[in-house]
């Protein structure tokens, strides 16, 4: 081997190292770069953790809604258990609606409580060394007799004044599902002296049925509930409280996200509460019937104490005014709502809607968006369409300007009226292979949780909402029409109702696999 020689030019020696001055300069440059780079990396990681947490809450609220559709009431903090004579918490009651019938059936058979990690029950920002539960249900002051100040009650009590089965319609007819909390994070670390120990999702519920949850204390942190108790001191920090001796320390929302705790409302909307939220507003968000609470001040003494000073304000007024209550802007709430509607459609018909309403010869006339109108409280608009005419017929084209707001996507405020970016993936091998093909649940052999069936396309791919036009997917080039959908990637709804941000740099073969319901590809996890 020929040895490299030093440069023959005077003063240059290739073998010499860096001087101490040069090393110091390089070190300074690296240090300066790290000052800017490390916070950006940390911010991105936290944003990712918060997104996953919000998706979990969306899935939980969606499961609770499906539970209410099937059984007629919201699951409670205590429910009739799957095993004979047993009681179960809301996580167990929701397992069948989270596609975990396998675990639910194990419990039904009387097998020992499984030490299974259920990802939907855990927030990635919270350390997990056991199959714990990062979320809690709204039980108000914790009593069936005071049922109006919370949502999750003891549903094993079916009759009398303490009956605990609450329907979503009850909530909608009073303060409204959009302004009543259903779930919150409850996974903060607490203090060094009093740690908030997360519950295991399969923890047993006491066998003695009663009208009141057994208190909020260190021991009661096992109960997956949040609410109000005691008398809050003035200006007490409610969200992410660090005051261990304050009333309700173990009953309030907490998280490991900076400054906020993620929550879900009874209508399925996901947001977060800032740690500066006033305790009076917090208590009002727990109640689904503020009028009933104030009409029985002695019975609802805890609620009246917590909300003192807000007697003359309507709940809806200060929900809009308090900036600490922030809706999720990164993920599109309308896309979540459409995904939920799709699930309701499947529940009723055992299949998804076809991509288009077609005539007898299979010619597409109107979009699937028209077909789901009855499921978004737009039955009257649906009945005005001539379903045997194309979308741009003299009669049907008048409805372009009447597009429901649910089809209006984020960043579309200045778009042409009647246009939407919410489209289904169409083409051979997708969940919508042809305009008149309705994919059934049994067709998803790859799993509904592994198959995308709704996306927010690029602004340039927006279509008239009534037109049977969507996003044709080329499985060889699956990114087409999605690359410029939004910062960091595009939002997609999976066939099980789950919403996820798909990274812009996702590999083409992985993305193609996510578009196929029966492609036989290996499972692909999207980070």
Residue-wise pLDDT tens digits, 484-524: 666 567 888 888 877 777 888 888 999 999 999 988 765 55
Band of pLDDT at residue 38, cut at 50, 70 and 90: very low
Q: Among 80-84, 432-436, 439-443, where is mean pLDDT lowest?
A: 80-84
Q: What is the spatial distance between Cα 215 and Cα 64, in angstroms, rounded to a whole number?
A: 24
pLDDT of residue 257: 85
- Report yes or no: 454 and 430 within 8 Å, Cβ to Cβ: no
The rounded percent of the chain whose pLDDT value lies above 70 is: 74
Bridge-partner residues for 140, per DSSP? 227
Bridge-partner residues for 200, per DSSP? 132
Segments making up each domain of the chain, as ranges: 45-327, 333-514
Question: Is residue 355 pLDDT above 80, yes or no?
Answer: yes
pLDDT of residue 330: 36
Question: Is residue 203 pLDDT above 90, yes or no?
Answer: no
Q: What is the spatial distance between Cα 115 and Cα 103, in angstroms, rounded to a whole number?
A: 10
In our burial notation (b when 16+ CB lie closer than 10 A, e otherwise), range 299-327 reads: bbebbbbbbeebeeeebeebbeebebbee
Count CA atoms within 13 Å of residue 410 on its CB side: 17
Q: What is the spatial distance between Cα 524 and Cα 169, in angstroms, rounded to a whole number?
A: 39
499-503 and 489-494 strand pairing: antiparallel
pLDDT of residue 505: 82
- Report yes or no: 255 and 126 within 8 Å, Cβ to Cβ: yes
Query: Within a 10 A sphere around the Cβ of 7, how many other Cβ atoms?
Result: 11
Cβ-proximal residues to 231 (8 Å cutoff; 6+ apart), any chain: 247, 305, 306
Question: Is residue 428 pLDDT above 50, yes or no?
Answer: yes
Burial of residue 430 (CB within 10 Å: 0-12, 13-18, 19+) is buried
Query: Within a 10 A sphere around the Cβ of 472, how many other Cβ atoms?
Result: 15
Q: How far is CA 167 from CA 6, 73, 85, 173, in A?
A: 85, 4, 24, 10
Band of pLDDT at residue 2, cut at 50, 70 and 90: very low
Q: Among 118-127, 247-256, 263-272, where is mean pLDDT lowest?
A: 247-256
Cβ-proximal residues to 240 (8 Å cutoff; 6+ apart), any chain: 188, 253, 254, 255, 259, 260, 261, 275
Q: What is the spatial distance between Cα 143 and Cα 168, in angstroms, rounded to a whole number?
A: 18
Q: What is the spatial distance between Cα 94 and Cα 118, in angstroms, rounded to a whole number?
A: 12
Rounded mean pLDDT, 39-49: 56
pLDDT of residue 33: 58
- Report yes or no: 394 and 498 within 8 Å, Cβ to Cβ: no
State the distance between the two ends of the chain, measured CA to CA, in whole angstroms: 48
Q: What is the spatial distance between Cα 179 and Cα 317, in angstroms, rounded to a whole number?
A: 11
Q: What is the spatial distance between Cα 87 and Cα 204, in angstroms, rounded to a whole number?
A: 8
- Report yes or no: 253 and 184 within 8 Å, Cβ to Cβ: yes
- Report yes or no: 148 and 166 within 8 Å, Cβ to Cβ: no
Question: Is residue 311 pLDDT above 70, yes or no?
Answer: no
Q: What is the spatial distance between Cα 110 and Cα 55, in angstroms, rounded to a whole number?
A: 31
If phi > 0 it is left, if psi is from -120 to 50 it is alpha, else beta; for residue 176 that is left
pTM of the model: 0.60
**Cα Rg of the chain (Å, integer):** 27
Band of pLDDT at residue 413, cut at 50, 70 and 90: low
Question: Is residue 467 pLDDT above 80, yes or no?
Answer: yes
Q: How far is CA 496 from CA 190, 331, 388, 433, 510, in A?
A: 35, 17, 31, 18, 18
The rounded percent of the chain whose pLDDT value lies above 90 is: 29
Question: Is residue 346 pLDDT above 70, yes or no?
Answer: yes
Query: Within a 10 A sphere around the Cβ of 398, how many other Cβ atoms?
Result: 11
Supply the DSSP string of 10-54, one letter for each residue. Answer: TT--TT----HHHHHHHHHHHHHHHHHHHHHHHHHHHHHHHHHHH
* Residue with the larger pLDDT of the pair 232 and 200: 200
Burial of residue 236 (CB within 10 Å: 0-12, 13-18, 19+) is middle
Q: What is the spatial distance between Cα 470 and Cα 454, in angstroms, rounded to a whole number?
A: 10
Nearest residue to 337 via CA among 272, 400, 447, 422 = 422
Secondary-structure breakdown of the chain: helix, strand, coil percentages, each rounded to the nearest 5: 35, 15, 50
Q: What is the spatial distance between Cα 372 and Cα 369, in angstroms, rounded to a whole number?
A: 6
* Residue with the larger pLDDT of the pair 100 and 322: 100
pLDDT of residue 389: 96
Q: What is the spatial distance between Cα 455 and Cα 514, in angstroms, rounded to a whole number?
A: 12
Bridge-partner residues for 426, per DSSP? 432, 472
Nearest residue to 455 via CA among 489, 428, 488 = 489
Q: How far is CA 122 from CA 89, 180, 496, in A?
A: 16, 23, 18
Question: Is residue 324 pLDDT above 90, yes or no?
Answer: no
Question: Is residue 47 pLDDT above 50, yes or no?
Answer: yes
Nearest residue to 168 via CA among 46, 41, 45, 67 = 67
């Amino acid at each position: 081997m020929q040895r490299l020689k030093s440069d023959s030019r005077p003063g240059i020696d290739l073998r010499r190292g860096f001087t101490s001055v040069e090393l110091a300069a390089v070190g300074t440059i690296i240090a300066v770069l790290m000052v800017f780079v490390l916070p950006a990396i940390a911010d991105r990681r936290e944003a990712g953790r918060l997104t996953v947490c919000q998706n979990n809450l969306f899935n939980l609220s969606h499961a609770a809604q499906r539970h209410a559709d099937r059984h007629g009431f919201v699951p409670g903090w205590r429910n009739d258990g799957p095993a004979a004579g047993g009681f179960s918490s809301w996580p167990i009651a929701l397992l069948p609606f989270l596609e975990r019938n396998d675990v639910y059936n194990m419990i039904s058979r009387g097998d020992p409580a499984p030490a299974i990690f259920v990802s939907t029950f855990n927030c990635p920002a919270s350390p997990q060394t056991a199959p714990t539960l990062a979320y809690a249900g709204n039980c108000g002051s914790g009593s069936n007799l005071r049922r109006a100040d919370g949502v999750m009650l003891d549903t094993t009590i079916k009759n009398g004044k303490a009956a605990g089965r609450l329907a979503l319609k009850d909530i909608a007819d009073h303060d409204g599902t959009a302004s009543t909390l259903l779930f919150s994070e409850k996974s903060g670390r607490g203090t060094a002296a009093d740690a908030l120990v997360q519950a295991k999702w399969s923890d047993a519920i006491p066998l003695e049925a009663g009208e009141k949850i057994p208190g909020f204390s260190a021991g009661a942190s096992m109960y997956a509930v949040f609410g109000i108790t005691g008398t809050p001191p003035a200006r007490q920090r409610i969200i992410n409280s660090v005051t261990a001796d304050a009333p309700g320390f173990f009953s309030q929302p907490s998280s490991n996200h900076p400054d906020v705790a993620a929550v879900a409302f009874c209508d399925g909307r996901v947001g977060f509460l800032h740690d500066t939220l006033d305790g009076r507003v917090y208590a009002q968000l727990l109640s689904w019937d503020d009028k009933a609470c104030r009409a029985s001040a002695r019975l609802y003494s805890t609620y009246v104490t917590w909300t003192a000073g807000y007697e003359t304000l309507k709940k809806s007024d200060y929900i809009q005014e308090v900036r600490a209550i922030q809706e999720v802007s990164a993920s599109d709430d309308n896309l979540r709502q459409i995904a939920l509607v799709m699930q309701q459609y499947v529940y009723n018909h055992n299949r998804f809607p076809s991509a288009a309403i077609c005539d007898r010869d299979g010619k597409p006339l109107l979009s699937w968006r028209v077909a789901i109108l009855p499921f978004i409280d737009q039955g009257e608009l649906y009945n005005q369409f001539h379903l045997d005419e194309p979308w741009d017929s003299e009669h049907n084209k008048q409805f372009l300007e009447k597009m429901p707001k649910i089809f209006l996507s984020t960043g579309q405020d200045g778009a042409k009226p009647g246009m939407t970016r919410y489209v289904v993936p169409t083409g051979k091998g997708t969940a919508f292979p042809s305009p008149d093909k309705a994919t059934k649940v049994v067709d998803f052999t790859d799993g509904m949780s592994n198959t995308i069936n709704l996306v927010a396309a690029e602004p340039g791919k927006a279509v008239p909402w009534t037109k049977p036009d969507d996003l044709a997917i080329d499985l060889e080039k699956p990114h087409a029409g999605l690359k410029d959908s939004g910062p960091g990637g595009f939002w997609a709804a999976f066939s099980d109702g789950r919403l996820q941000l798909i990274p812009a740099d996702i590999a083409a073969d992985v993305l193609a696999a996510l578009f196929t319901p029966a492609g036989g590809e290996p499972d692909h996890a999207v980070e």
